[in-house]
Structures are given as C-alpha cells and as structure tokens.
Structure 1
Amino acid sequence: MEPERFTSNTTKAIVSQFVGFLLDSYDLTMILSIAPILAKVLLPPESALLATFNIILSYSLTIIFRPLGSAIFGNLGDRIGRRADLIITVLGLGLASALTSALPTYAQVGILSFILFVLVRIIVGIFAGGEYAAGHPFAMEWTPYKWRGLVSGIVQGGFSFGAGLAALVEAAFIGIYGVSGVESFAWRYVFLTALAPAVIALAVRLTMSETPVFEDVKKKNLIRKTPFLDLFRKPYRRDFFQVMLYMTGMFFFAYSLFAFVPAILEDKPSVFSIGTAEQVYYYGTYAAFAGAVIFGALSQYIGRRRLTIMWAIATFIISIPVYYLLFHSASIGNYVFASIASIIIGIITQGPWGIIPIYLSERFKASMRSSGVGFGYSSGIFIGGWFSVYVPLMHNYLFKAIDTPTNIWFSTAVLLMIGAVLVGIGQYLGPETLGTKLVEEVQKV
C-alpha cells in the first residue's frame, strides 16, 4: 500500500536520498570546479584550457560507467529491496570518493597519476549509478501522494545543494591555503571531506524500513526474475526509449551549469580569481536547488509534462542572452551581474530536474522500478554524457569566432538550446504521469 501520511520513515527516506544525492554531486563538483588545479597536479604542463578539457573529459569517461551501476544495483533493488541496495551503494560511493585523496601526483609517478584518477572515477561512477536506482524509488514510495512533487524537488535538489556545498568548501580551502597550497597538498583534504555526508547517509539508512510499495510487491509475488532485461521487452521498450530521449536533454541541461559555468568564469578573458569564480558559481548551484524544489512543487498542480514543455521553450529562448551576460560580466569583473547570470542559469538548467525522482518512479511499475528509474536516468548519459566532446568541437570548428580562443560561453549556450529541444520533444512523446499509483496491481488473466 502507498503511505497516506508523513511518518518517521518518510522523513528518513527523504533525508537519506537528499544526503546520498548530495554526496554524488559533492564528489562530481570537486572534479569540475577545481579542474584547473587537478590538471596541474595530475597532468603534464600544457595550455590551461586544454588541460581543463582533459580533466572534464576524464569526468565524462567515468560517468559513462553510471549505467553499469544502474543496471547492477537497479536489478538488485528490484530483487532484494531498496534498503539493502542503498546501504551497499553509499558505502562504495563514500569510500571511493575519499580514495581520490590518496592518489599520487604527476610529479611523483608521471602519467600513471592520471590513469589511476580515471580508474577511481570509474568506481565512483558505478556506485553513483546504483545510488539513484534504489534511492529515488525509496524516497518516492515512502511519500504520500499530495507531497510527491515537493519531495521530489527536495530530493533532486540534493544534487544542486551538494554542488554548492562543494564549491563553498573548495573556496574555503583556497581562502585558507591559497591556490598554491591547494595545488601542493590541500586538494587531498578537499576530497577527504566527502566522508562526512557518506557517514550521515549510512547512519540514517541503517535505521530505515523497507518501503510499503516493495513489501506489497513481495506480498503479491510480483518480483521479477530479470527486471532489468524486462525494460527492453514489450510493452515497456517504448517507455524506456522515450525516457532515454528526455534524459539525454536533461543531461545537456545539467552540465551546461556544472561542467562549463566554472570554466567560463575561470578562463580568460574572465578577470576573476579562482576564489571569486567559485563564489559566483555556487550562487548558481544554490539557485538550482531552489529551482528544483519550486519546479517539483508546481508539477503537482500544473502537471509534470505540461510544465516541462513550457520550461523547455523558455529555456531555448533565453540561453544565449544569459550566457553572454555571464561571459561579459566575468570579462569586465562585474561581480553582481555575473552572480545574477549564474543564478538564472542555475534555475533554468536545474529546475526541471525537480520532477525526475517522481516522474521516473511514475513511469515504471513497482516490480521493475529500481531498474527503470536507475537505467532510465543513466540512459541519458549514452549521448548526453559526451558533453565534454561536443562543446570543444563546437568551440574549435563552429563558434570560435563568437566564443573567444580561451572561453566557450557561446558553445555552452548552444548545448543548452539542444538540450531544451530534446527535453521538450521527449516529454511531448510521453504521457502525463501526475496521478499515477505507485503500487502495482496483479494483472488478471
């Protein structure tokens, strides 16, 4: 049965997934926002922009392994339950993220340092893919119907909050040790801080109960032998590919903020220091958290599909103007207008993510929900995850005259416009899910 009111288990489920998703983003943001520093630590000397692209490319290579984690742990979540799955994933994610702090530098072992960095990122990616496969359904299956949109936004907002927290922590370390100190040794301390949210999430999850929806699946004997493979069989195959198209656009949305706003703020002709750029960036990530919560709450009244399509159209229209505002403000050192641009970008790119936990949970039956949510979420990576290739290609071959030789603002704006088109079409091809029951009924023969 679905819960009809908030209980302590509902609160625990929300906190668990918020902190778990925060940890995922916290780790990823560390890589992206201090990419110039990591490039100096892990790679041989070369142009600053090229070195930064190499770090971002390694990030893309690692997130490609998230679907593998979603397949493994999503299938497990549908077989043994969401709770046990989540305990395994948060342990793996927290320890692997902290392991980054133990990596040798390029000065110590040469290019092996970068190879080891990529291997650790792969491990992180596998556990992160499993984290939302079981975590999103767990939170949604404990949430009463009328609160689903708001809770979905809060849970998904954990990602943006984690990004903002990571940027804030990194700015603090730079403020304390200076850029040279972070490059020399303090970057290790930055990654060790990932253990804190992992311990919190683990402590909460050890006290949780399995969801009533999954207990209902077991009671009705609906557990599937191969829930992951069932995604690609009729009649579910079309649903999966519709979700994949939609999520591809959503990943373009996400990394238009997380991957490239720091680069726009830090690379010439920007006159901001790394510390100032971090401050401007984390304004955008906190605005992203607010956008996700507001979007999720509104979807409970307007509808998931209708709201997303309207948002996609608006995003397509304002992409170039808002990225130009960010670029131009950074070029002349206007902190206020750069912050405004960062806030707007945070809201427009991350707001639609507020419905992802509930939308994907409503799109797949309870007996295959972890597999569907996890792999459906991750499926956007297959095409969307190569943003670190698309933007340099656009920059070098299409828009270099509009960008500058050292900045990629216009190419990033185009990436967001492409994402808006894919998101709009993806939602248009799917049904409205508002009102869908999360329990699964036994089919009558």
Structure 2
Amino acid sequence: MEPESFSSNSYKAIVSQFTGFLLDAYDLTMILGIAPVIAKVLLPPASPLIATFSVILSYSLTIIFRPLGSAIFGHLGDKIGRKGDLIITILGLGIASALTSTLPTYAAVGILAFILFIIIRIAVGIFAGGEYAAGHPFAMEWTPFKWRGLISGIIQGGFSFGAALAAVVEAAFIGFFGVKALDAYAWRYLFLTSLVPAVIALIIRITMKETPVFEDVRANKLIRKSPFLDLFRKPYRRDFFQVMLYMTGLFFSAYALFAFVPAILEHSPSIYGLGTADTIYSYGTYAAFAGAVTIGALSQIIGRRKITIIWAIITAIISIPIYYLLIYSATIGSIALSTLAVIIIGFITQAPWGIVPIYLSERFKASMRASGVGFGYSSGIFIGGWFSIYVPLMHQYLFKSLDTPTNVWFSTAVLLILGALLVGVGVYLGPETLGTRLTEEVEKSKVIPH
C-alpha cells in the first residue's frame, strides 16, 4: 500500500530525514570550514596546505566508513523496520559529532589528539551510513507518487542546507569570538551545536509510525533472510553495480564543492581571509539546495534518467571555465565574481543529488530497499571517497603548472568532469525508473498509470 495523499506521518518522515541529513552535512562542513583551526589544535606545525590536506584526509575516513554503516543498518532496516533503525542512527550520529568538542589538544597529548579525532570521524561515518540507508526509503515510502521528485530533492537538499547552516554558524562564531578565540577554545562550542538538530530529529522519530510499504512487506511475509547479501546475487547484482558506478561519479561531483571550494578560497593566490571565504562558500551551499530541489522536481516531469544525462553533458563542458572564474576572482579579490562562481558550482555539483533518494528507492524492491539504497548510495565511496588523495596527486604530478603551487583549482575542475562522465554513463546503463511502484507485489505490474 502506497500513500495517495500527504498525512501527518508523511510530513514527519520528510522533516525527520531532512533534519537527519542536515546534521550529517552540518558536521562534515564544520570539519572542512575550520580545517585550518583543527589543524592548529590537533596537529604539529606544518605548511597550511599540508595541514589542511591532513584534515581533509580524516574527513575522507568519515566518508570511507559509511558503507559499513549502510551494510549494518540497511540490513536492520529491512529486517526490523525503518523507524527503529532511524532512532539508533540519529542517536549515534548526534553523540559522535558532539564528542569532537571534548578532544584534547596536540599541545596536551601530542599526536594522540589527532588519533582520537580520527576515531570519532570513523564513528560518525558508520552512523551516517546508516542514516540514509533507512531514512531515504522511509521518507519516499510515505510520499505520494506525484510528489516524489520534489520531495526527493527537498530531502537531499537537507545536506546542502546543513552545509549552508554550518557555514553561517561558523561565520557567526568567527565574528563573535574572533579567530584567536576560535583557535583557543571556541571551536569546542561550535561542535556542541550539532546536538540541536540531533535532538529535533530524535523527537520526531519517536512519534512516527512505520511506513505502510514496510508493513505490507511484513504482512505478506516478504522479509528476506539476508537482504544485504541478496544485493550480490542474481538478478539484483547488475542493478547494484550500475548504481555503484552512478554513485561514484556523484561523490566526485559533490566534493568538488564541499571539500575543495573552501580550500581554493582559503589558500593563495586567493586573498580572502577565513571569514570572507566562509561567507562566499555559504552562497554555494544555498545554490546547492536550490539545485537539488529543482532537478528533483524536474525529474518527475522529464524522467530521472534523461534529466541526469542532460546534467552530465552540461557539467562536463562548463567545469574548467567556472573554476577558472573562481580562482581568478579570488586572486583579484572580486567578491561579486567569486560569489557568482561559487553559486554556479554549488548548483551544478549538487543538482543531480536531488534525484538520489527516489531513484535509488525505485531501483530496489521493498524487501531489500534499505540495504540497496544504503549500500548502493555508499558504494560510490569505494572509489569516489578517496577524492582527498586524487586531487593532491593530480595537483602534484599532472596539473601543477595549471594549478598554482598552493591551490588546486584546476585539479578540482578535472575531478568534477570525471564525476559528470561517470554519472552520465552510470545512469545511461540503468532503466528509467519514473513510475515504478514502491510496494513489492508478486507478479503484478510495477508501473503506476499516468
């Protein structure tokens, strides 16, 4: 049974997943936005770029451990239900993120400070991987058919909204406390703010009902013995590997914004200080939200597959020119041009993500959907999650003459081009999913009449 109209549970499911995804991005963006501060506090003295790359590498570890969380909590979501799974994941994600504020400094305990930081990042990654494994299906299974594209974009836009919120909060902290106080102690308060969205999401999830789609799975005795392992058995494994290729490209494209735009703005020849760079970057995250919502809504009209292929072609063409505009404007100190460049980058890098919650939900049967959505989403990390290594390697060995010695603008543009190509090929190899039923029915039509 699929909902025909919005109910209170539909709204709760949407707000719940939007807030949970917001928290994920909020945590990650804080790490990247104040990477120079974290490097000073938790690492021995080094060149600013090397220190920042060290923090970005720890950020990658957060990403790389997500598949483990998706496997664990995706399996649970298909066995015990989406709701119980989501209560566990938001508790873990909120507590692990807030624990960052309790870390000792390098001055106090040496390199142990950074080791403890990495352990916390791994825990965050595991719970975040579980967050969307059950969360995306939960929200989509509560959404009426004709609104799925728009709601998919809004939910996925929660990540961009969380990134924007983190950038605004960071800028406010810098403005209120100052950079010196942020280095000394205020960074701890910054990480404690992650408890706010975690508590909101937890309260909502406690009051939610299980989705009618999963209740049908349970009532019809369709719960699988090993939903996660079934992803790698015929006839589902081809679907899984197609999704993996698609998601690999999406991770390349996403972190061409989240990981490297702050680094480009904060390092010479850019002349911006940390506060100005954070403010400019925040506009890109607003545009990212708009991109996800726009493409999600259009996919309900044009189709998930077609709109993604169009995006891939356009993005591959404009990547280098738009990143050149970014570094040029940052070099001459044109805030208006830098903001324009970041807005365009934010929109194009995050737009195709607006389709992800519904596209992945439509690619997997209800009885294995949490496993398929979660691990399919996270599978892009196996190759795509090492962006923090690829860009420095391209910078050092391939494009150093096109980059500058202290900036990676051209290498980041190439990362985005590779992402667009992989996404385009990945979605081309799969079917159009618009119209697919989310309820698992035996030997019945899977297409909703239009």
The TM-score bracket by the shorter chain reads over 0.9
Q: Which residue identity does 2:126 align to in structure 1?
A: I
Q: Distance in 2 between matches of 1:325 and 1:10?
A: 42
Instruction: Kindly state the Cα deviation for residue 63 of structure 1 after the two structures are TM-superposed.
Output: 1.4
Aligned to 1:104, what secondary structure does the other structure show?
coil
Query: 2:264 & 2:233 partners in 1: Cα distance?
Result: 43
Deviation track 1:273-323 (CA, whole Å, cap 9, x = no partner) reads 100000000000011001100100000000000000010000000000000
Residue of structure 2 in register with 1:42 after alignment: 42
1:371-424 Cα offsets, whole Å, 9 max, x none, are: 000000000000000000000000001111110000000000000000010000
Offset of residue 4 of structure 1: 0.2
Counterpart of 1:167?
Answer: 167
TM-score, length basis structure 2: 0.98
Which secondary structure does the structure 1 equivalent of 2:269 belong to? coil
User: What aligned pairs does 1:417-428 form with structure 2 within 5 A after superposition?
Assistant: 417-428=417-428
* Alignment-derived partner of residue 291 in structure 2: 291
Equivalent residue for 2:31? 31
Matches within 5 A, 1:316-395: 316-395=316-395
**C-alpha distance in structure 2 between counterparts of 1:340 and 1:269, whole Å:** 18
1:62 deviation in Å?
2.3
How many Å apart are 1:26 and its aligned residue? 0.3
- The letter for the 2-side match of 1:241 is F
Supply the distance in 2 between the matched residues of 1:443 and 1:373 (Cα, whole angstroms): 23
Q: What's the offset of the Cα at 1:27?
A: 0.4
- In the other structure, the counterpart of 2:431 is 431
The Cα of 1:197 is off from its aligned counterpart by 0.1
1:214-269 alpha-carbon deviations (Å, 9 max, x no partner): 00001110000100000000000000000000000000010000000000000011
Partners of 1:253 and 1:35 in 2: CA distance: 20
What aligned pairs does 1:77-156 form with structure 2 within 5 A after superposition? 77-156=77-156
Gaps of 5+ in 2: 445-450
Q: Is the 8 A contact 1:89 1:130 kept in 2?
A: yes
> Partner amino acid for 2:103?
L
Distance (whole Å) between structure 2 residues aligned to residue 432 and residue 36 of structure 1: 44
Deviation at 1:442, TM superposition (A): 2.4
Q: Which runs of 5+ in 1 are unaligned?
A: none
For residues 351 and 28 of structure 1, the distance between their equivalents in structure 2, rounded to whole angstroms, comes to 19
SS of 2:405 mapped into structure 1: coil
2-side partners of 1:207 and 1:62: how far apart?
A: 30
Q: 1:263 is matched with which residue? A: 263
Give the structure 1 partner of residue 412 of structure 2: 412
- Residue by residue, what CA displacement relative to the aligned partner does 1:333-387 show, whole Å, maximum 9, x if unpaired? 1000000000000000000000000000000000000000000000000000000
Structure 2 residue aligned with 1:232: 232
Q: Distance in 1 between matches of 2:321 and 2:443?
A: 52
| Distance (whole Å) between structure 2 residues aligned to residue 238 and residue 3 of structure 1 | 30
Supply the distance in 2 between the matched residues of 1:62 and 1:142 (Cα, whole angstroms).
29
Q: Could you tell me which residue of structure 1 aligns to residue 182 of structure 2?
A: 182
Aligned partner of 2:448 in structure 1 is: none
Contact 2:20–2:131 (Cα < 8 Å) also in 1: yes
In 1, distance between residues paired with 2:32 and 2:419? Answer: 20
Task: Output one character per residue of 1:12-40: Cα deviation in whole Å (capped at 9) or x when no partner.
Answer: 00000000000000001111111111111
SS at match of 2:301: helix
User: Would you say the 8 A contact 1:220–1:442 is kept in 2?
Assistant: no
- Opposite residue 302 of structure 1, the aligned amino acid is I
Distance in 2 between residues matched to 1:77 and 1:302, nearest whole Å: 31
Q: Point out the more displaced range, 214-223 or 56-65.
A: 56-65
C-alpha distance in 2 between matches for 1:443 and 1:115: 53
- Determine the structure 2 residue equivalent to 1:402: 402
Q: Deviation at 1:6?
A: 0.6
| 2-structure distance, mates of 1:41, 1:331 | 28
| 1:62 matches 2:23 | no
Query: Residues 156 and 292 of structure 2 are in contact (CA less than 8 Å); yes or no, is this contact kept in structure 1?
Result: yes
Q: Assess if the C-alpha contact under 8 Å between 2:171 and 2:275 holds in 1.
A: yes
Matched with 2:191 is: 191
Query: 2:61·2:125 contact (CA, 8 Å) conserved in 1?
Result: no
The letter of the residue matching 1:419 is G
CA distance in 2, matches of 1:131, 1:79: 16
CA distance in 1, matches of 2:253, 2:279: 21
Q: What SS does the corresponding residue of 1:430 show, helix, strand or coil?
A: coil
Q: Within 2, Cα distance between the matches of 1:88 and 1:331?
A: 46
Cα RMSD (Å) of the superposition? 0.7
Q: Which amino acid aligns with 2:399?
A: F
Runs of 4+ in 1 over 2 A off after TM superposition: none
Whether the 8 Å contact between 1:251 and 1:385 is mirrored in structure 2 is: yes
% of aligned pairs identical? 77
| Cα distance in 1, alignment partners of residues 290 and 443 from structure 2 | 40
Q: Report 1:205-244 matches (<5 A).
A: 205-244=205-244
- CA distance in 2: counterparts of 1:61 and 1:208, whole angstroms: 32
SS at match of 2:178: helix
3-state SS of paired residue (1:133): helix
SS of 1:439's equivalent?
coil
> Once the two structures are superposed, what CA deviation does each residue of 1:74-126 show, in whole Å capped at 9, x if it has no partner?
00000000000000000000000000000001011000000000000000000
Q: Does the 8 A contact of 2:248 with 2:379 survive in 1?
A: yes
Q: Secondary structure of the equivalent of 1:426?
A: helix
Contact 2:248 2:384 in 1 (8 A): yes
Question: Counterpart of 2:356 in structure 1: which amino acid?
Answer: I
Q: Is the CA contact (8 Å cut-off) linking 2:402 and 2:410 kept in structure 1?
A: yes
Letter in 1 for 2:107: A
Question: Does the 8 Å CA contact 2:245/2:423 hold for their aligned counterparts?
Answer: yes
How many residue pairs were aligned?
A: 444
Q: What secondary structure is seen at the aligned counterpart in 2 of 1:2?
A: coil
Structure 1 residue 61: Cα displacement: 1.8
Per-residue deviation, 1:443: 4.7
